[in-house]
Chain A
Amino acid sequence: MVVQALKDQGVDTVFGYPGGAVLPIYDEIFLQNDIRHILVRHEQGAVHAAEGYARSTGKPGVVLVTSGPGATNAVTGLTDALLDSIPLVVLTGQVPTFLIGSDAFQEADTVGITRPCTKHNWLVKDPDALSGTIHEAFHVATAGRPGPVLIDIPKDVQFASGTYQPPKPSTSHYQPRVKGDLEEITELVAAMEKAEKPVFYTGGGVINSGTAASQLLRELVDATGFPITSTLMGLGAYPASGQNWLGMLGMHGLYEANMAMHDCDLLIAVGARFDDRITGRIDAFSPNSIKAHIDIDPSSINKVVKADIPIVGDVGHVLEDILKVWKSRGRKTQAEAVKSWQAQIGDWRKINCLAYSNNDKSIKPQYALQRLEELTKDRDRYVTTEVGQHQMWAAQFLNFEEPNRWMTSGGLGTMGYGFPASIGVQMAHPDALVINVAGEASWLMNMQEMGTAVQFRLPVKQFILNNERLGMVRQWQELLHGERYSHSWSEALPDFVKLAEAFGAKGIVCSDPADLNDAIMEMINYDGPVIFDCLVEKHENCFPMIPSGKAHNEMLLGEAETQGVIDTQGAALV
């Protein structure tokens, strides 16, 4: 029944790891050929792989793990998916119903443990309710703001026979609102017609809404001529080559993007949630602007920042309505004022905030990413990242022209996300070039997935920026803790080339900037998984940076004066 339900929901790939409590389901999987099962090496890897699959395709990722430790190993991935709004359906085995609550072998209160980290979860005790629950789970995972759901299935329910119910249009009361309120939309359009310094601030919500939303966003931005910036999660919704593109904003965002957010008079938030990495000091955030907030989740609105024009709805539908109303009112903007606003932004751009001092003796991580961008930009490319300085540099130096090409752990910031996610992406796009930009410490967290990559012949490219440090932590220790580098270096690192070969894959090491181009080309052209150990400058800091507790116009742009910059209040914020 489980397998039939998955097939009827259009599932073609399941990431999982077997165990005693899920043997009946694995038996069914063995006896069919429509659904592919990818055997990972750790359940956390299965969930991150499903996340990579989901973000790169727009379809929900499906995971199958066993009870007890299988389910608890999935918790990190579930929490990651919840914070980044990724649709996932996770099936966990459970001990038989008559053993629940008796501390049986591999028993855990899965539903209790995952209650705060899933959008919703179910424990199925009645075999006749099983198929209906699975269909409902897919509905909940994908409707409204997407998120992870979990279905706990006891073993005796898996063995039992019951009546299968095919999927039907959901009669559940959970039907989130997708169409925005027309009066609020009209008010926003009126504001757009009068704005002299407008800014679009977009986020992951545009990606979740689907490719049509990205298309509509592009049309609206280019028609109005308003500048647009994006959060880490929203990169690719508007192309980096677009003429109104400001660059990413936030704690490590570009100078011109943060200054534009600070000085604007109309801030249109589209599918973004005003996360603390973006806002910096809230009482000094964009102080003189009218804020419009378009979001499908009403609890996001007015949570952090007061919304003057709140619009609850799916960004795709709302953007469509905004375009209609704006066009029907004569496509008005304050064209002259917006032009001089763009000129002001041009002046800020001249500061060239991403400049770094390059040299020909060591590889600067920024240079490595610039070379990677140059050599891969014309390919069918998908990028995942781990978490840390390399993640920020990847967001700054790689350009994204399409949505669903950029997979990163934004909300939870899970180290160890990127490698399994790249596996999930490669499964969904077998012919594409999938690159995981990693730090050596993050990469080692889920290194066991090399087995998965080699077994399933997934030619994922692991681009490791190896500085033998926990870079982001080290940067904060330098800034805030008087250069007391407490446990922020990587000792006893493996020889990555030998490690790759031990798994049957290819390893490349590069430490000379002159060799970089050839080494990257070798990585791209190798038909199989590659670990690329790029030995980079060890003490490079990631700029620009808005130190915690500071406002957008108090950015640090370089090494100059970084001591004593964070006060005690700011120190308490991460």
Chain B
Amino acid sequence: MSALHIKKGSTRHSAYNLRPTFSDVQEKHTLAVLVENEPGVLARVIGLFSGRGYNIESLTVAEVDHTGHLSRITIVTTGTPQVIEQIKAQLGRIVPVHEVHDLTVEGPSVERELAILKVVSDGDKRVEALRLADIFRANVVDSTLGSFVFEITGAPDKIDAFADLMRPLGLAEIARTGVAALLRGE
């Protein structure tokens, strides 16, 4: 190349991880964003994603610290590593954003989601639905002679699996909350 022989990646980096790999593979990342709980902040975050063409797979937000006026937005997004770094940097740039954490990168994390599913069936399919719900440790929160409403919490792929199984058994409607996630350990 040239006379400069810099060993890339040889120095310790600052808290901003500024030397990502530049590959073309789409990756799914779960981001936790701590923001001021003031009007318009969520609109700003969503405006960022839509304005720059980033993808939102799921998003959930709620206040987590009342005295500190902080809310936590958990976003699952997909993109190449370069795009994910840009998303994190752009989120960090928004004034009311306090912290941006990439839970997929920062360490092992716990991800949970809640879903409620309405399954309309009778006869064998109804019995099978109830049996599968038991196996998945889903709760029945509503029942009529012709339908059930199940409530299930778990990792997103467990919910995907449950929904797939319910589909041929009469799944009529499903409502999901989106992923909430935290890092394991301290």
Contact A303 B86, beta carbon cutoff 8 Å: yes
Q: Kindly state the separation between the CA atoms of A115 and B45 in the bound complex, as whole angstroms.
A: 10
Which 8 A/B pairs are nearest by Cβ-Cβ distance?
Answer: A299-B89, A310-B18, A265-B2, A120-B95, A183-B11, A181-B14, A299-B90, A298-B89
Q: Kindly state the separation between the CA atoms of A309 and B6 in the bound complex, as whole angstroms.
A: 10
Residue in contact with B85 in the complex, picked from A119, A181, A288, A302, CB distance below 8 Å: A302
- What is the interface size of chain A, counting residues whose CB is below 8 A from a CB of the partner? 41
- Listed A/B pairs (16) with beta-carbon separation below 8 Å: A112-B40, A115-B47, A116-B51, A120-B95, A140-B95, A173-B98, A187-B10, A191-B4, A191-B6, A194-B5, A298-B89, A299-B90, A302-B19, A302-B20, A303-B86, A307-B18
Give the residues in chain A near B8, CB-CB below 8 Å.
Answer: 308
Contact A290 B4, beta carbon cutoff 8 Å: yes
Q: Please report which residues of chain A, range 271-325, place their CB below 8 angstroms from some CB of chain B when the two chains form the complex.
A: 288-290, 297-299, 301-303, 306-310, 312
Closest Cβ neighbor of B36 among chain A residues? A173
Give the residues in chain B near A303, CB-CB below 8 Å.
Answer: 86, 89
Give the residues in chain B near A119, CB-CB below 8 Å.
Answer: 95
Contact A115 B82, beta carbon cutoff 8 Å: no
- What is the interface size of chain B, counting residues whose CB is below 8 A from a CB of the partner? 34
Contact B85 A190, beta carbon cutoff 8 Å: no
The answer to whether residues A183 and B12 also contact, given A116-B47, A123-B39, A299-B86 and a CB cut-off of 8 A, is: yes
Q: Is A196 an interface residue (CB 8 A)?
A: yes
Contact B11 A187, beta carbon cutoff 8 Å: yes
Q: Kindly state the separation between the CA atoms of A433 and B96 in the bound complex, as whole angstroms.
A: 42
Q: Please report which residues of chain A, range 358-373, place their CB below 8 angstroms from some CB of chain B when the two chains form the complex.
A: none
Taking the nearest CB of chain B, how far is it from the CB of A492, in angstroms?
A: 38
Contact B86 A288, beta carbon cutoff 8 Å: no
Q: Is B25 an interface residue (CB 8 A)?
A: no
Give the residues in chain B near A190, CB-CB below 8 Å.
Answer: 6
Where chain B touches its partner, the secondary structure class is loop
Contact A301 B18, beta carbon cutoff 8 Å: yes
Closest Cβ neighbor of A309 among chain B residues? B6
Q: Kindly state the separation between the CA atoms of A299 and B93 in the bound complex, as whole angstroms.
A: 7
Give the residues in chain A near B93, CB-CB below 8 Å.
Answer: 145, 297-299
Closest Cβ neighbor of B7 among chain A residues? A187
Taking the nearest CB of chain A, how far is it from the CB of B38, in angstroms?
A: 9
Q: Is A535 an interface residue (CB 8 A)?
A: no
Contact A195 B4, beta carbon cutoff 8 Å: yes
Q: Kindly state the separation between the CA atoms of A323 and B127 in the bound complex, as whole angstroms.
A: 77
Contact A298 B92, beta carbon cutoff 8 Å: yes
Closest Cβ neighbor of A187 among chain B residues? B11
Q: Please report which residues of chain B, range 1-47, place their CB below 8 angstroms from some CB of chain A when the two chains form the complex.
A: 1-6, 8, 10-14, 16, 18-20, 22, 39-40, 43-44, 47
Closest Cβ neighbor of B48 among chain A residues? A116
Residue in contact with B14 in the complex, picked from A111, A196, A312, CB distance below 8 Å: A312
Taking the nearest CB of chain A, how far is it from the CB of B93, in angstroms?
A: 5
A interface residues (Cβ-Cβ under 8 A, vs B): 111-112, 115-116, 119-121, 123, 140, 145, 173-174, 181, 183-184, 186-187, 190-191, 194-197, 265-266, 288-290, 297-299, 301-303, 306-310, 312, 334
Give the residues in chain A near B16, CB-CB below 8 Å.
Answer: 298, 310, 312
Taking the nearest CB of chain A, how far is it from the CB of B29, in angstroms?
A: 16
Residue in contact with B82 in the complex, picked from A174, A195, A299, A302, CB distance below 8 Å: A302
Give the residues in chain A near B89, CB-CB below 8 Å.
Answer: 298-299, 301-303
Residue in contact with B43 in the complex, picked from A115, A194, A297, A301, CB distance below 8 Å: A115
Contact A302 B4, beta carbon cutoff 8 Å: no
Give the residues in chain B near A194, CB-CB below 8 Å.
Answer: 3-5
Taking the nearest CB of chain B, how far is it from the CB of A314, in angstroms?
A: 15
Contact B14 A288, beta carbon cutoff 8 Å: no
Residue in contact with A266 in the complex, picked from B4, B11, B20, CB distance below 8 Å: B4
Give the residues in chain A near B11, CB-CB below 8 Å.
Answer: 183-184, 186-187
Most-contacted residue by chain A among B1, B4, B10 (CB, 10 A):
B4
Residue in contact with B22 in the complex, picked from A116, A191, A306, CB distance below 8 Å: A306
Give the residues in chain B near A181, CB-CB below 8 Å.
Answer: 13-14
Residue in contact with A265 in the complex, picked from B3, B20, B44, CB distance below 8 Å: B3
Closest Cβ neighbor of B94 among chain A residues? A120
Closest Cβ neighbor of B2 among chain A residues? A265
Give the residues in chain A near B2, CB-CB below 8 Å.
Answer: 196-197, 265, 288-290
Q: Kindly state the separation between the CA atoms of A197 and B4 in the bound complex, as whole angstroms.
A: 10
Q: Kindly state the separation between the CA atoms of A181 and B16 in the bound complex, as whole angstroms.
A: 11
